[in-house]
């Protein structure tokens, strides 16, 4: 018998491995071209831009929501530290002796109006959330009365009876 040795055939000899590699390379090129075509098409670019815009808007809305919540919490904390108008009126009543009904009433005597001026001043300085019309409404007066009192208050503050009233412990307890 003749010695016939059978050696294993290399797969590349038949071209199988090379053909598979070439197919993979062609397929990869095809996919790359297809992806580039799809991504670079105007329709896809519009879709991508729309999605990005929606996500950016959503993120901006979320940021604005967080900021508004933080500002509202900060304002609520500030208002919690600010005295109520009733507290201010009680302090003015203790310091001046004028009743709350007098302070809210229509009388315009000079000592009573000076006591009201203290109430206006304290409301404006201690309550940052109140406008002049709101202060006037709370004390049954017009906002122009509040404005006039606030203009005149610094000059009158150093004279009696305002000076003594402003030194009263009830008023000093309210001031920072």
Residue numbers of the domain that contains 116: 85-174
Residues 117 and 95 in one domain: yes
Residues 115 and 133 in one domain: yes
- Spatial contact of 132 and 146, defined as CB atoms under 8 Å apart: yes
**What pLDDT is recorded for position 167?**
92
**Measured between alpha carbons, how far is 141 from 51 in angstroms, rounded to an integer?**
56
**What pLDDT is recorded for position 43?**
83
Residues 121 and 58 in one domain: no
Residues 120 and 72 in one domain: no
Q: Which two tokens stand for residue 28?
A: 């990869």
Please say which residue of 18, 46, 80 terminates a domain: 80
The total number of structural domains in the chain stands at 2
Residues 114 and 152 in one domain: yes
User: Residue 91 maps to which CATH number?
Assistant: 1.10.1750.10
Does residue 1 form part of some domain?
Answer: no
**What pLDDT is recorded for position 90?**
94
Give one word for 86, left, alpha or beta, with left for phi > 0 and alpha for psi -120 to 50: alpha
3-state DSSP call for residue 96? helix
Residues 97 and 113 in one domain: yes
Q: How far apart are the first and last CA of the chain?
A: 118
**Measured between alpha carbons, how far is 143 from 173 in angstroms, rounded to an integer?**
26
Residues 91 and 69 in one domain: no
**What pLDDT is recorded for position 162?**
85
Residues 104 and 157 in one domain: yes
Please say which residue of 45, 80, 115 terminates a domain: 80
Does residue 19 form part of some domain?
Answer: no
**If residue 32 lies in a helix (H) or strand (E), which one and from where to where?**
helix 16-40
Residue pLDDT, tens place only, 37-83: 777 778 878 888 898 889 999 999 999 999 999 988 887 776 667 88
In which residue ranges of the chain is pLDDT below 70? 1-17, 78-80
């Amino acid at each position: 018998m003749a010695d016939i040795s059978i050696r294993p055939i290399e797969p590349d000899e038949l071209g199988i491995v090379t053909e598979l590699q070439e197919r993979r390379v062609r397929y990869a090129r095809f996919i790359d071209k297809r992806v580039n075509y799809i991504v670079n098409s105007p329709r896809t670019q519009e879709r991508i831009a729309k999605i990005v815009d929606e996500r950016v808007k959503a993120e901006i809305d979320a940021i604005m929501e967080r900021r508004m919540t933080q500002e509202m919490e900060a304002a609520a904390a500030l208002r919690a530290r600010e005295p109520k108008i009733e507290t201010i009126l009680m302090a003015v009543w203790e310091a001046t002796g004028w009743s709350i009904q007098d302070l809210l009433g229509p009388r315009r005597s000079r000592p009573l109006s000076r006591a009201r001026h203290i109430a206006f001043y304290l409301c404006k300085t201690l309550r940052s959330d109140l406008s002049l019309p709101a202060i006037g409404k709370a004390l049954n007066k017009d906002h122009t009365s509040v404005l006039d009192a606030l203009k005149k208050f610094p000059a009158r503050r150093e004279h009696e009876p305002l000076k003594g009233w402003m030194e009263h412990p009830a008023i000093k307890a309210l001031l920072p």
